[in-house]
Chain A
Amino acid sequence: MNPTKHLEMRGVRKTYRYFTLDDLSMDIEPGQILGFVGPNGAGKSTTIRLAMGMIAPDAGEVRILGHDIISAQALAKRDVGFVSAEMRLLPHASLGWHMRFVASIYPGWDGTYAEKLVKRFNLRPEQNVRALSTGEHVKAVLLLALARRPRLLILDEPTNGLDPVARHEVLSEFMDVLRDDSRSILFSSHNTVDVERISDRITFIDRGRIVDSSDKEDFLERWRRIHLQLLPGATLPDLPNIVGNARDGQFVTLTTNHFSDAQIAQLGGQVRDVQRMNLEEIFVANVMHHREARGQ
């Protein structure tokens, strides 16, 4: 039996005066964490708002948990938890009020789990929302989403403003979600360390277009920095899949997006070191490469 994808965006386009999101396609399977990474202004928030139906695409299709997000918006969002760093809770109410409010709307609310999260996140339900610090506010919003045990969690910068301890706790809660392989997470964040750690797949976006999308381990295996010291009088052989080239006299650093032993063989004894790249390095190199290719 083919389980329905939790998120499906096909050929989505959204045009604004100074910015266009074009030909966007993205998928999330149940049981998966998709890391969504991009520079500021790349269109991450726009994509997420399109996914939540807060804005409508000019072209293309958006489906959440099998429902078309525009025609069945209320139905689709019933099992989706949305957390955005920009989101604010209602200022005249307490966290406890919000918990009761959310609990009365969603049958999936788990009161016991909510209480556990209140303790773990060190929050006080009677406290008015206005009195919460940035970090506490983020944790409150996360609590309200997590305690409903939604099938799909859409997270837009969920760890902004969190101290390292809080981040550790929050990430543990995210990973706990994935103990259930029928649930999934869209995790959009600048924190590439966290994204690298917990994501199964990673999608890069830049200037309104998806630049690359693959399994995380695939990215980590394919990308390398090759450090060379050229022999006197030698020139660099023409190697395939080299996307970056930095030179300082005899010393050259090549960046490749499809590392193979054949490349090393061709370079021979000139290779001094081959380094793996972390997600942030891959991300920056990938974006630069694609901008060059597009003549930007």
Chain B
Amino acid sequence: MNIVVRKLIAKELYVNRWLIIGATLSGVLSVLIAATGNKAAFNIGMLTWITTIIAFGVMLGIYGVANERKEHTLLFVLSLPISTGDYVRAKQIGLSLCFFMPWLFSSAAAVALILMHPDIPDGLLPFTVLLCVFMLANFLLVVCGALHARSEALVSAVIIVTNMAVSAFMFTVAAIPAIGSTMFGPTPIWNDTTWTVLAAELVLLATAFLLPFLFAARSRDFI
């Protein structure tokens, strides 16, 4: 990986530093709110937690990719001694790293909440893990879409669809008997269904992450 790519990845982290810190704090704070005890607080906290992660992902997708193209900062970056393929790779790795820390902290906080809080059933653990992984896959899909799509409309469409997918995911997975029936139990149950869903998510995640390296990076027309 040449030095310019590494510098661009560092630049991605630098440029989004406030967003990263803000999202991390927001995610952890939401968990703390949810931990305060009553049902209302839990719901608010959970909602804020989900919104934080989704919104953060969307903003990275928009400011990180689509806006850069629109605002012509892309011209500056492309004037550097890199190929268009280098640009895509630096973007993909850079944005993924930006997302990773807040996501990891927020997910860990949520898992900790479930396991440590006496009133919250540990049975929620598998569902929560599936949800966290899904949101990571979601983010990677948004970035993948932004790196391939040329029109703003298409990028917006990707963002809207993936956001709707989170709610859809939550309802659908919770409705699966093998998962839904054990969700509110005292122990986390990892059965075949959970593993299958997890495997599907990981495949989706890997595909969304790798696609830009295979397609967008090969694109010959970048502007």
Complex CA gap A92/B18 in Å reads 10
A73 close to chain B: CB less than 8 A = yes
Report yes or no: A88 in contact with B75, Cβ–Cβ below 8 A: yes
Using known A-B contacts A74-B86, A105-B81, determine if residue A54 contacts B73 with beta carbons closer than 8 Å.
no
Report yes or no: B76 in contact with A90, Cβ–Cβ below 8 A: yes
A192 close to chain B: CB less than 8 A = no
Enumerate chain A residues within 8 angstroms of B7, measured Cβ to Cβ: 101, 104-105
From the candidates B15, B72, B220, B222, name the one contacting A86 in the complex (CB within 8 A). B72
Per-residue CB contact flags for chain A residues 67-110 toward chain B (1 = under 8 Å, else 0) read 00010011111101110101111111100000001001110000
Report yes or no: B71 in contact with A77, Cβ–Cβ below 8 A: no
Report yes or no: B3 in contact with A105, Cβ–Cβ below 8 A: yes
Report yes or no: A105 in contact with B80, Cβ–Cβ below 8 A: yes
Report yes or no: B82 in contact with A74, Cβ–Cβ below 8 A: yes
Report yes or no: A93 in contact with B79, Cβ–Cβ below 8 A: no
Report yes or no: A88 in contact with B71, Cβ–Cβ below 8 A: yes
Report yes or no: A77 in contact with B81, Cβ–Cβ below 8 A: yes
Per-residue CB contact flags for chain B residues 1-35 toward chain A (1 = under 8 Å, else 0) read 01110010001001100000000000000000000
Using known A-B contacts A91-B71, A105-B4, determine if residue A54 contacts B84 with beta carbons closer than 8 Å.
yes
From the candidates B73, B76, B82, B221, name the one contacting A56 in the complex (CB within 8 A). B221
Enumerate chain A residues within 8 angstroms of B84, measured Cβ to Cβ: 53-54, 73
Enumerate chain B residues within 8 angstroms of A105, measured Cβ to Cβ: 3-4, 7, 80-81
Enumerate chain A residues within 8 angstroms of B81, measured Cβ to Cβ: 74-78, 105-106
Measured CB to CB, the nearest residue on chain B to A102 is B80
Complex CA gap A81/B221 in Å reads 20
Q: How large, as a class, is the contact surface on chain B? A: 20 to 34
Complex CA gap A88/B7 in Å reads 18
User: B135: shortest Cβ distance to chain A, in Å?
Assistant: 25
A177 close to chain B: CB less than 8 A = no
Query: Which residues of A come within 8 Å of B, CB atoms?
Result: 49, 52-56, 70, 73-78, 80-82, 84, 86-93, 101, 104-106, 141
Q: A84-B75, A106-B81 are in contact. List 19 more A-B contacts (CB 8 A).
A: A53-B84, A54-B221, A55-B221, A70-B220, A74-B4, A74-B82, A77-B82, A80-B79, A82-B75, A84-B79, A86-B72, A86-B75, A87-B73, A88-B75, A89-B73, A104-B3, A104-B7, A105-B80, A141-B76
Query: Which residues of B come within 8 Å of A, CB atoms?
Result: 2-4, 7, 11, 14-15, 71-73, 75-76, 78-84, 86, 220-223
Give 29 pairs: A residue, B residue, CB < 8 Å, sorted on A.
A52-B79, A54-B75, A54-B78, A54-B84, A54-B221, A55-B220, A55-B222, A56-B220, A73-B82, A74-B83, A75-B81, A77-B79, A77-B81, A80-B79, A82-B79, A86-B75, A87-B72, A87-B73, A87-B79, A88-B73, A88-B76, A89-B76, A90-B11, A90-B15, A90-B73, A90-B76, A101-B7, A105-B7, A106-B81
